[in-house]
Structure 1
Amino acid sequence: MPFKEFFTEYGEANLYEIQEVVGKGSYGVVAAAVDTHTGEKVAIKKINDIFEHVCEATRILREIKLLRLLRHQDIVEIKHIMLPPCRREFKDIYVVFELMETDLHHVIKTNDDLTPGHHQFFLYQLLRALKYIHSANVFHRDLKPKNILANADCKLKICDFGLARASFGDAPSAVFWTDYVATRWYRAPELCGSFFSKYTPAIDIWSIGCIFAEMVTGKPLFPGKNVVHQLELITDLLGTPSLEVISRIRNDKARRYLSSMRRKAPTPLSQRFPDVDPLALRLLERLIAFDPKDRPSAEEALSDPYFYGLADVEDEPSTQHISKFEFEFERRNLTKEDVRELIYREILEYHPQMLQEYLRGVDQIHFMYPSGADQFKQQFFRLEGQAGKVGRPPMRRRYASLPRERVCGLIDEDPDQSDSRSQAVVPVPPRPVLQSPKNLLDIKRSKAPKASAKDRPDDHKKSCYSARCLLRSDSISASKCIGVQGENYL
């Protein structure tokens, strides 16, 4: 097979068996591959011309740094980043990620029989991840179903940390919230109008609440058409905020708008969602409290009665605060050369011997051994010339889901969240089966103290949960995506 050997570094063979190009967009190309050392299926993402715009390069730097620092079972993992052929002139990077099958957006959209057990287990994983992320003083800032990856075994992983920020006590708001453009439907009300001078992890808790409601109902909770409409939908459900809350809003325009709004009484969630478990609704009500100080932390939410027998908060990992030094670049006006050097330094974290030389001050402008990135560039060129095929049957798991980019076949897109760019259809493989979370729940519950049947929520009495298929994800990214159709690229 012509594309078997991936690259060699310091005499050690690093072999990837490339299956096919599974996605192509303005950002670059993604290939599905197998690590021939471990047999693990991976996605290798080539990002083109990353230094064309310093702001985009900085976003990539932030994301690869955070994914190196945040290691958790519910966060997508970078396996490897290939060493570029030249330290001071490289333009592209090649990142190896774990392979995922779909995202939560399509799990929700294509499964109309998700059970209360699924809802509970999904939310538990998201809050578990959020507890870890927030313990590092990191805010994700762009949580939404498309940024949560999923496998058929009901495992979820949070991805897309391009808008995330590490929070430090002396960080001014103007620096911390630069370029905040998170998806409106999942945006906390304090971000819709710059309500408060200090933001907290509660912005992510709000997003998780919106996602949870969408899992339960199958529809977005607050699908606002613009910021004003978004606030109208929020207040229609939650009622207008109290005068005390309004008085703390720093934005004059937002404060006047809410003060002039006709008074609305909150709509009971049991009235809006009559078929939903009351325990789930009580937790949802806490997660989407209008005032951020009334929302629970992720750790507090995991202690909610809704998770009785499932969550053991003390067992869920936390981590140390991220060092302020790691994100000193956020305070500087970086040049293209600055960002290139910082990304190169991050790449060296996956090449320990080269990192030691770098730290000792050894000149590394050009390398005397074959560059994995240089060799892979040639492989990608040849692979694309063959319309993405390498002369073998496609791998069984065809989809790669990556931070900001998800690689997959097309299904009908939600017009409210789809990208304006054209999409292309790829052949549909056998659909993975969405398994019951029962066994996973039982494992967790076996560690919890037993209680009488009358003390347990009804959902916990069920002996099994129904299952259905996870359908494929349809995009490489929430934006800038084109797919692969037949033998030709669009």
Structure 2
Amino acid sequence: MPDKEFFTEYGEASQYKIQEVIGKGSYGIVASAIDTHTGEMVAIKKINDVFEHVSDAMRILREIKLLRLLRHPDIVEIKHIMLPPCRREFKDIYVVFELMESDLHEVIKANDDLSPGHHKFFLYQLLRALKYIHSANVFHRDLKPKNILANSDCKLKICDFGLARAQFNEGATPIFWTDYVATRWYRAPELCGSFFSKYTPAVDIWSIGCIFAEMLTGKPLFPGKNVVHQLDLITDLLGTPSAESVARIRNEKARRYLCSMRQKSPVPFSKKFPNADPLALRLLERLLEFDPRYRITAEEALAHPYFRGLANVDSEPSMKPISKFEFAFERRKLTKDDVRELIYREILEYHPQMLREYLQGADLSSFMYPSGLDQFKQQFASLEENPSPKERRGTSLLRKYASLPRERVYKSIEETMEDNSDSGRTTSVRRAACQSPPSSQGIDKIRESALRRAFSSQTAPKTPSCSVHYLSRNSSIVLTSAEV
């Protein structure tokens, strides 16, 4: 397929050569492509009708913002977002991601004999990413195997931040979010049946515990069919919780059910997971504490004896809490045009010169680009109308490496330990991995000034604007196996 002109005179589209469809869904289409400048494979995701519903557009805005701010080797990276030809009328957006070969769900399903080395290295990467995310005062809120991408070298990356939130310490008023629709099997017990809850980092820790247990056994730990069944499965393993712990459950029906439940004794983890490393089980018990107050943190978990010889604090970075000015838009009710402008502003983060002009007040609205937008739309339409043989057969796309060669994990662990032993090298790698998109010199100061001005001019409603009706629509922008 020949190179296509893209959106701007910068030649964005000609940089990417489309290969094949690797994912479809209500959001649009994902295609693999080659970056002709670097030879690297990438995934380009076209999100259709972004602004059809404000709630969906807000989720996309939050996600692209968080993925720009959270730059870490164990978090999926947005490499670029295409510049639309018109600031005030665009409907679709094109996001370029690093291309990953599989996801943890497929890896677990295809490998019934994952080794203790796999278990340890996988969990270490997840906790390392979670320490970084939580240090920024961000909660992922939807961790599950399908939202963890994987490569054949056993490297994992957390993706799908569509439900993630940043929290800011602004006094004693609780902050509640009403769109928590994450998969029940990985949902912390304090959230069972609750769609209006205050969150803590402990909800992500519980999810990681469930994922780790799934690695050990090859099947989900708590595959509840409904809220009651979910609580039954949890208490069958952990035993009946204390009255104090039950009181922390927000859902009244769930509390009543737990109070009326017959007394259950906890099952020893050594019996539930007879072939697991005893140190792994000691850590798992801390990850799966019923009461969130007693759940271990990601930072504490990384210091657990289970990771002795692998963990190194120099390769486990934290970051400053995200500025409240970045999410000032959450404090007011937004129209479609408001969200379109905010998403356009995020897109400009990948176009430094235009961002500088925008932040300095330049009017870019009439600047139309002599681009190949129509050609590019036709290219994606052609992919949708003419599926590949794999797609016609209904076989899973982008799953060449679900089965992991046993030697891969040991090579990856050795590389990690080698990096950890060279603190100078580790620091330089970490800094490179955690950089924001490239920008012109001095642009950060201009950006912060603009954010502060915007924040100071806004008035916050007492409750966030959110339509639950549309939250089931899959508008998440990250390529996951659920979309393939």
Q: TM-score range by the shorter chain?
A: 0.7 to 0.9
Question: Could you tell me how far apart the structure 2 residues matched to 1:433 and 1:66 are?
Answer: 31
- Which has the larger displacement, 110-119 or 16-25? 16-25
| 2:110 alignment partner in structure 1 | 110
Q: Secondary structure at the match of 2:44?
A: strand
| 1:260 alignment partner in structure 2 | 260
Contact 2:82–2:347 under 8 Å retained in 1: yes
Decide whether aligned partners of structure 1 residues 116 and 429 sit closer, same or farther in structure 2, where only a CA change above 3 A counts. Answer: closer
Decide whether aligned partners of structure 1 residues 423 and 242 sit closer, same or farther in structure 2, where only a CA change above 3 A counts. Answer: farther
Decide whether aligned partners of structure 1 residues 303 and 370 sit closer, same or farther in structure 2, where only a CA change above 3 A counts. Answer: same
One-letter amino acid of the counterpart of residue 46, structure 2: K
Decide whether aligned partners of structure 1 residues 236 and 123 sit closer, same or farther in structure 2, where only a CA change above 3 A counts. Answer: same
Q: Secondary structure at the match of 2:91?
A: coil
One-letter amino acid of the counterpart of residue 42, structure 2: V
- Which has the larger displacement, 275-284 or 370-379? 370-379
Question: Could you tell me how far apart the structure 2 residues matched to 1:81 and 1:91 are?
Answer: 14
Question: Could you tell me how far apart the structure 2 residues matched to 1:232 and 1:105 are?
Answer: 24
- Which has the larger displacement, 323-332 or 428-437? 428-437
Question: Could you tell me how far apart the structure 2 residues matched to 1:165 and 1:342 are?
Answer: 17
One-letter amino acid of the counterpart of residue 52, structure 1: E
| 2:208 alignment partner in structure 1 | 208
| 2:124 alignment partner in structure 1 | 124
What does 1:374-385 correspond to in 2, within 5 Å? 375-384=375-384
Return the offset for 1:370. Answer: 2.3
Return the offset for 1:173. Answer: 8.1
Contact 1:136–1:319 under 8 Å retained in 2: yes
Question: Could you tell me how far apart the structure 1 residues matched to 2:97 and 2:126 are?
Answer: 20
TM-score, normalised to structure 1, is: 0.80
Return the offset for 1:434. Answer: 1.9
TM-score, normalised to structure 2, is: 0.81
Question: Could you tell me how far apart the structure 2 residues matched to 1:424 and 1:476 are?
Answer: 18
What does 1:200-349 correspond to in 2, within 5 Å? 200-349=200-349
Decide whether aligned partners of structure 1 residues 61 and 115 sit closer, same or farther in structure 2, where only a CA change above 3 A counts. Answer: same
Contact 1:41–1:98 under 8 Å retained in 2: yes
| 2:461 alignment partner in structure 1 | none
Return the offset for 1:27. Answer: 1.6
Q: Secondary structure at the match of 2:395?
A: coil
Contact 1:195–1:254 under 8 Å retained in 2: no
Which one has the bigger helix percentage?
2
Question: Could you tell me how far apart the structure 2 residues matched to 1:302 and 1:293 are?
Answer: 18
One-letter amino acid of the counterpart of residue 166, structure 2: A
| 1:68 alignment partner in structure 2 | 68
Return the offset for 1:174. Answer: 7.6
| 1:455 alignment partner in structure 2 | none
Question: Could you tell me how far apart the structure 1 residues matched to 2:176 and 2:18 are?
Answer: 40
Contact 2:7–2:83 under 8 Å retained in 1: no
Question: Could you tell me how far apart the structure 2 residues matched to 1:370 and 1:305 are?
Answer: 59
Question: Could you tell me how far apart the structure 1 residues matched to 2:375 and 2:381 are?
Answer: 10
What does 1:381-396 correspond to in 2, within 5 Å? 381-384=381-384, 387=386
Question: Could you tell me how far apart the structure 2 residues matched to 1:279 and 1:333 are?
Answer: 49
Return the offset for 1:102. Answer: 0.6
Return the offset for 1:431. Answer: 4.7
Contact 1:196–1:249 under 8 Å retained in 2: no
Question: Could you tell me how far apart the structure 1 residues matched to 2:250 and 2:44 are?
Answer: 45
Return the offset for 1:306. Answer: 0.6
Question: Could you tell me how far apart the structure 2 residues matched to 1:18 and 1:315 are?
Answer: 35
Q: Does 1:434 align with 2:407?
A: no
Contact 1:83–1:371 under 8 Å retained in 2: no
Contact 1:32–1:42 under 8 Å retained in 2: yes
Q: Secondary structure at the match of 1:434?
A: coil
Contact 1:84–1:372 under 8 Å retained in 2: no
| 1:139 alignment partner in structure 2 | 139
Return the offset for 1:245. Answer: 1.9
Question: Could you tell me how far apart the structure 1 residues matched to 2:34 and 2:223 are?
Answer: 39
What does 1:108-187 correspond to in 2, within 5 Å? 108-170=108-170, 176-187=176-187
Q: Secondary structure at the match of 1:119?
A: helix
| Structure 1 residues 409-464: Cα deviation after superposition (integer angstroms, max 9, x where no partner) | 68xxxxxxxxxxx9933689865762421123234445789xxxxxxxxxxxxxxx
Decide whether aligned partners of structure 1 residues 439 and 446 sit closer, same or farther in structure 2, where only a CA change above 3 A counts. Answer: same
Return the offset for 1:141. Answer: 0.2
Return the offset for 1:169. Answer: 1.9
Q: Does 1:424 align with 2:399?
A: no
Contact 1:64–1:346 under 8 Å retained in 2: yes
Question: Could you tell me how far apart the structure 1 residues matched to 2:120 and 2:33 are?
Answer: 33
Question: Could you tell me how far apart the structure 1 residues matched to 2:399 and 2:417 are?
Answer: 35
Question: Could you tell me how far apart the structure 2 residues matched to 1:289 and 1:236 are?
Answer: 14
Question: Could you tell me how far apart the structure 2 residues matched to 1:22 and 1:11 are?
Answer: 24
Decide whether aligned partners of structure 1 residues 89 and 427 sit closer, same or farther in structure 2, where only a CA change above 3 A counts. Answer: closer
Contact 1:203–1:292 under 8 Å retained in 2: yes
One-letter amino acid of the counterpart of residue 434, structure 1: L
Contact 2:106–2:402 under 8 Å retained in 1: no
Question: Could you tell me how far apart the structure 2 residues matched to 1:311 and 1:378 are?
Answer: 49
Question: Could you tell me how far apart the structure 2 residues matched to 1:229 and 1:132 are?
Answer: 33
Question: Could you tell me how far apart the structure 1 residues matched to 2:272 and 2:82 are?
Answer: 51
One-letter amino acid of the counterpart of residue 318, structure 1: S
One-letter amino acid of the counterpart of residue 322, structure 2: I
One-letter amino acid of the counterpart of residue 71, structure 2: R
> What is the number of equivalent residue pairs in this alignment?
426
Contact 2:191–2:249 under 8 Å retained in 1: no
